[in-house]
Amino acid sequence: AGIESASSRIESIWQLLEEYYWQHDYGLYIDEYNGDFSKADKYRGQNANMHMCEALLMCFEATQDTKFLSRAKLLTYNITVIQANKTDGLIWEHYDENWEVDWNYNKDNPKHLFRPWGFQSGHQTEWSKLLLILHRLTATSWLLTRAEELFIKSVTTTWDDQYGGLCYGFAPDKSICDSDKYFWVQAESLAAAKLLYLATGKDLYENWYNRLWQYSWDHMICHQFGGWYRI
């Protein structure tokens, strides 16, 4: 929007994150602190880093400052390659303070609203989308490779062959642990499918885009008011 005064606010937030949240040893961000920043929560999660990646990409587009792009690429590598190598190439949600996989976090509460147990289909495809944005900006080959891998593993595991749509969560053994169909999962996945088609030209991804869009149009979108139903 050309509002130059936003630059100083972006920089001040960057400095706050650098001082308290960025972990140089792991190349990832801490989730949360108490109110006075005297104690960090021991929980570590990929979700906060995924949304940090989104924010960093937006900051780069707004400012053209390459530090934001470099940081987005670094944390993306650490989540989608380093951490994913611990979990069969997929992105697990929950880790301990040393960034080791916590397989049991919320296992007794798999439908937790913000930290559900299991692999989240929509987060695999959302990372695919972010990898593709980074690929467009940096033309680095591993980004496209990982985007394809995450997308295909997610949609082939969680697509409901009987009723359509992508299920929300799946267990390490690839069984479905949450069969709900959330709007954002379908939306993130169809966006990733379109970007994959544009990046590769493969009909496979255009077919997935059409399939996801048709399901969303038929079941997720309110045709009277234009919004999306949550589930």
Q: Please return the burial class of 156, using the count of CB atoms within 10 Å of its CB with bins 0-12, 13-18 and 19+.
A: exposed
Q: Which of 45, 50, 49 is nearest to 96 (CA)?
A: 45
CA angle (64 as vertex; 146, 82 as ends), nearest 5: 25
Map out the domains of the chain as residue ranges.
1-117, 119-231
Mean predicted confidence (pLDDT) in 205-225: 98
- With a cut of 80, say whether residue 2 has pLDDT above it: no
Q: Which of 100, 161, 89, 159 is nearest to 128 (CA)?
A: 89
Q: How far apart are the first and last CA of the chain?
A: 34
Task: Give pLDDT tens digits for 174-194.
Answer: 999 999 999 999 999 999 999
Quote the pLDDT of residue 6.
87
Mean predicted confidence (pLDDT) in 74-84: 99
Q: How far apart are CA 182 and CA 6, in angstroms?
A: 34
Mean pLDDT, rounded, of the chain: 97
Q: Which helix (H) or strand (E) holds 170?
A: strand 169-170
Task: Give pLDDT tens digits for 135-156.
Answer: 999 999 999 999 999 999 999 9
Q: Is 185 left (phi over 0), alpha (psi -120 to 50) or beta?
A: alpha
Q: What are phi and psi of 58, to 5 degrees?
A: -65, -40
Q: Which residues of 58-93 are buried (b: 16+ CB within 10 A; e: fewer)?
A: ebbeebeeeebbebbbebbbbbbeebbeeeeebbbb
- With a cut of 90, say whether residue 97 has pLDDT above it: yes
Q: How far apart are CA 203 and CA 60, in angstroms?
A: 31
How many residues can be counted in the chain?
231
Quote the pLDDT of residue 1.
66
Confidence of residue 116 (pLDDT cuts 50, 70, 90): very high
Quick one: what percent of the chain has pLDDT higher than 70? 100
| Alpha-carbon distances, residue 41 vs 21, 35, 93, 130 (angstroms) | 11, 11, 16, 26
